[in-house]
């Protein structure tokens, strides 16, 4: 059964355009409430990021849930992973996040967590979609849901984050720049690092409803890099608008991406004899990361692009660490979902325990040069069934031998074939990527 509204991470789009409209979101709240409702009543946690439209959609969800007889626990602006955590600890039936993650302010979305703080199974999302096709029927007045605001949500989550590192560990010798992207972490992230003893220089902590992710945060770490160098900080931390993505900067101003962050965490787990199982990356994970894990004797597997698929493979393998180059890092031995603050704390723990700077911890992984080209096509094609394209792929792989990798895949959101080549020689990588892109154009021309 195909999905009508849900994508890989909830329902998302431009505010005011279907389906991200107040009337639809109210119906979505009602439909979800009907699916989540239990025999003895039910409650749902609602949190949001700092977008101006969040207030409107919070009210719409609350109205829909109330009509379905479900109570709402309102958290206000809170990171997505905090909502997953609080859904569990408040023993709610589900959690709802109003956020479009790293997108601009004019986008928004609705995503869900189960009562266990994990993303909803496909079958539950399909049940909600099926309920959306039913006429909205409001409960009798005596059976309407109630709403309450949780006033200590920030403190609860801050303590949880601090509990993810050793009790005796202190960050008192570190000066840290924290970029909160004018988003959901603007209050809690600086507090977490300060309470652990660090000297914190916060930026991106002045949300106005319109400036979330604007030239700041994990998708635009330029200002973070400049501030780290200017303030002679030991490390910089960039979160995205909803706090589930992390990019870092070392004291020299080098950008440390998700692959390198995941390597530092894995390496520390190995050195502390706390590594459990292997690591999951994606098809886009740098080959240098895979080779670095091989030297650590840590198994590695690639999932499809998307943290949803990383999570599925982790659960299937009973492993605990995974992530994407973009900075979605999952530490299932610490929490149930990707969490930028907790992931940053694992890196800071590695720095404290090793006594090394971040730049030194990353040295064990050599990133291979990578070229990614997007080839626009008039209509979607199956590159695996094109003899001409596959012949060119095999030829490129023979040129790279065991020192590189070729990946061709169709975009899931636009009419584009993505051509990726990586290897040890940047010149060869660039040349082969261009040759493959030309073959794709010729095959669809």
pLDDT range class, residue 379, cuts 50, 70, 90: confident
Instruction: Over range 183-195, report the average pLDDT.
Output: 98
Per the annotation, the verdict on 343 as an active-site residue is: no
Q: Is 281 in contact with 323 (CB distance < 8 Å)?
A: yes
Measured between alpha carbons, how far is 220 from 274 in angstroms, rounded to an integer? 33
Strand order, beta sheet including 416-423: 370-376, 416-423, 404-410
Its pTM stands at: 0.93
Please state the domain extents for the chain.
11-151, 157-362, 370-444
Nearest in space to 365 (alpha carbons), one of 296, 294, 423, 288? 288
Nearest in space to 202 (alpha carbons), one of 220, 219, 222, 188? 188
* Residue 381 scores a pLDDT above 90: no
Instruction: Summarize pLDDT for 262-289 with one digit per residue, the tens.
Output: 999 999 999 999 999 999 999 999 999 9
Considering Cα of 253, then 364, then 397, then 258, what sign does the dihedral take?
negative
Question: 9 vs 267, which has greater pLDDT?
Answer: 267
Question: 383 vs 48, which has greater pLDDT?
Answer: 48
- Percentage of the chain beyond pLDDT 90 is 89
* Residue 239 scores a pLDDT above 90: yes
Q: Show the tokens assigned to 424.
A: 């040890």
Which residues are registered as beta bridge partners of 112? 96
Instruction: Over range 424-430, report the average pLDDT.
Output: 94
Mean pLDDT score across all residues of the chain: 94
Task: Please report the pLDDT score of residue 410 as a whole number.
Answer: 82
Task: Please report the pLDDT score of residue 385 as a whole number.
Answer: 84
Selected catalytic residue, list 42, 66, 99, 101: 101
Task: Please report the pLDDT score of residue 50 as a whole number.
Answer: 98
Which residues are registered as beta bridge partners of 418? 374, 409
Cis, bond preceding 19 (omega within 30 deg of 0): yes
pLDDT range class, residue 2, cuts 50, 70, 90: low
pLDDT range class, residue 26, cuts 50, 70, 90: very high
Nearest in space to 421 (alpha carbons), one of 286, 261, 309? 286
Q: How many CA atoms does the CB half-sphere of 97 hold within 13 Å?
A: 31
Q: Is 239 in contact with 183 (CB distance < 8 Å)?
A: yes
Measured between alpha carbons, how far is 406 from 421 in angstroms, rounded to an integer? 5
CA dihedral 75, 10, 192, 350 (to 10 degrees): 160
Superfamily covering domain 370-444: Alpha-D-phosphohexomutase, C-terminal domain (3.30.310.50)
**Phi and psi, residue 215, nearest 5°:** 55, 35
Instruction: Summarize pLDDT for 103-145 with one digit per residue, the tens.
Output: 999 999 999 999 999 999 889 999 999 999 999 999 999 999 9
Task: Please report the pLDDT score of residue 255 as a whole number.
Answer: 98
Measured between alpha carbons, how far is 350 from 359 in angstroms, rounded to an integer? 12
Instruction: Over range 286-309, report the average pLDDT.
Output: 94
Q: Pairing state of beta strands 107-114 and 94-98?
A: antiparallel
Nearest in space to 342 (alpha carbons), one of 200, 246, 203? 246
* Residue 310 scores a pLDDT above 80: yes
Task: Please report the pLDDT score of residue 436 as a whole number.
Answer: 95
Residue written as token pair 């740098």: 286
Domains 157-362 and 370-444 share a fold: no
- 28's CB contacts (< 8 A; 6+ apart) are 5, 11, 19, 61, 64, 110, 128, 132
3 state DSSP class of 434 = helix
Question: 185 vs 380, which has greater pLDDT?
Answer: 185
* Residue 39 scores a pLDDT above 60: no
Q: Is 157 in contact with 78 (CB distance < 8 Å)?
A: yes
- Percentage of the chain beyond pLDDT 70 is 98
Residue written as token pair 């946690």: 45
Measured between alpha carbons, how far is 21 from 360 in angstroms, rounded to an integer? 48
- 215's CB contacts (< 8 A; 6+ apart) are 222, 223
Task: Please report the pLDDT score of residue 384 as a whole number.
Answer: 84
Instruction: Summarize pLDDT for 90-101 with one digit per residue, the tens.
Output: 999 999 999 999
Task: Please report the pLDDT score of residue 40 as a whole number.
Answer: 57
Nearest in space to 82 (alpha carbons), one of 36, 124, 117, 111? 117
Assign a CATH topology to domain 157-362.
Alpha-D-Glucose-1,6-Bisphosphate; Chain A, domain 3 (3.40.120)
Instruction: Summarize pLDDT for 322-359 with one digit per residue, the tens.
Output: 999 999 999 999 999 999 999 999 999 999 999 999 99
Superfamily covering domain 11-151: Alpha-D-Glucose-1,6-Bisphosphate, subunit A, domain 3 (3.40.120.10)
Task: Please report the pLDDT score of residue 217 as a whole number.
Answer: 97
Task: Please report the pLDDT score of residue 72 as a whole number.
Answer: 98
**Phi and psi, residue 407, nearest 5°:** -140, 125
């Amino acid at each position: 059964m195909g999905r009508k509204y849900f994508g890989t991470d909830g329902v998302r789009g431009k505010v005011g355009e279907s389906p991200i409209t107040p009337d639809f979101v109210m119906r979505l709240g009602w439909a979800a409430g009907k699916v989540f409702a239990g025999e003895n009543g039910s409650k749902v946690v609602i949190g949001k990021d700092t977008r101006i439209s969040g207030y409107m959609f919070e009210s719409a969800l609350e109205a829909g849930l109330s009509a379905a007889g479900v109570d709402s626990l309102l958290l206000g602006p809170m990171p997505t992973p905090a909502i997953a955590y609080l859904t569990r600890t408040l023993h709610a039936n589900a959690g709802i996040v109003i956020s479009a993650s790293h997108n601009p302010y004019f986008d928004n979305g609705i995503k869900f967590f189960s009562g266990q703080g994990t993303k909803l199974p496909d079958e539950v999302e399909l049940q909600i979609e099926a309920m959306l096709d039913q006429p909205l029927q409001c409960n009798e007045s005596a059976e309407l849901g109630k709403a309450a605001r949780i006033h200590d949500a920030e403190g609860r989550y801050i303590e949880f984050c601090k509990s993810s590192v050793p009790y005796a560990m202190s960050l008192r010798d570190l000066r840290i720049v924290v970029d909160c992207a004018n988003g959901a972490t603007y209050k809690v992230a600086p507090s977490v690092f300060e309470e652990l003893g660090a000297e914190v220089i916060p930026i991106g902590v002045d949300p106005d409803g319109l400036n979330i992710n604007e030239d700041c945060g994990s998708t635009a770490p330029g200002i973070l890099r400049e501030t780290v160098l200017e303030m002679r900080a030991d490390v910089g931390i960039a979160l995205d608008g909803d706090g589930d993505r992390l990019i870092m900067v070392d004291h020299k101003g080098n950008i440390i991406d998700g692959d390198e962050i995941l390597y530092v965490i894995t390496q520390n787990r190995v050195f502390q004899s706390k590594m459990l199982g292997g690591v999951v990356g994606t098809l886009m994970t740098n080959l240098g990361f895979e080779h670095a894990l091989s030297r650590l004797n840590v198994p590695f597997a690639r999932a499809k692009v998307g943290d949803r698929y990383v999570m599925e493979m982790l659960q299937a393998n009973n492993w605990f660490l995974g992530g994407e180059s973009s900075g979605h890092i999952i530490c299932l031995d610490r929490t149930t979902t990707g969490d930028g603050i907790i992931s940053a704390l694992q890196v800071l723990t590695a720095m404290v325990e090793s006594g090394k700077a971040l730049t030194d911890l990353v040295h064990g992984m050599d990133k291979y040069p990578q070229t990614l080209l997007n080839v626009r096509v008039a209509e979607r094609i199956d590159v695996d069934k094109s003899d001409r394209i596959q012949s060119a792929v095999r030829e490129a792989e023979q040129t790279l031998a065991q020192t590189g990798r070729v990946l061709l895949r169709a975009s899931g959101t636009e009419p584009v074939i993505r051509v990726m080549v990586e290897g040890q020689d940047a010149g060869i990588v660039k040349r082969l990527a261009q040759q493959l892109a030309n073959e794709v154009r010729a095959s669809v021309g």
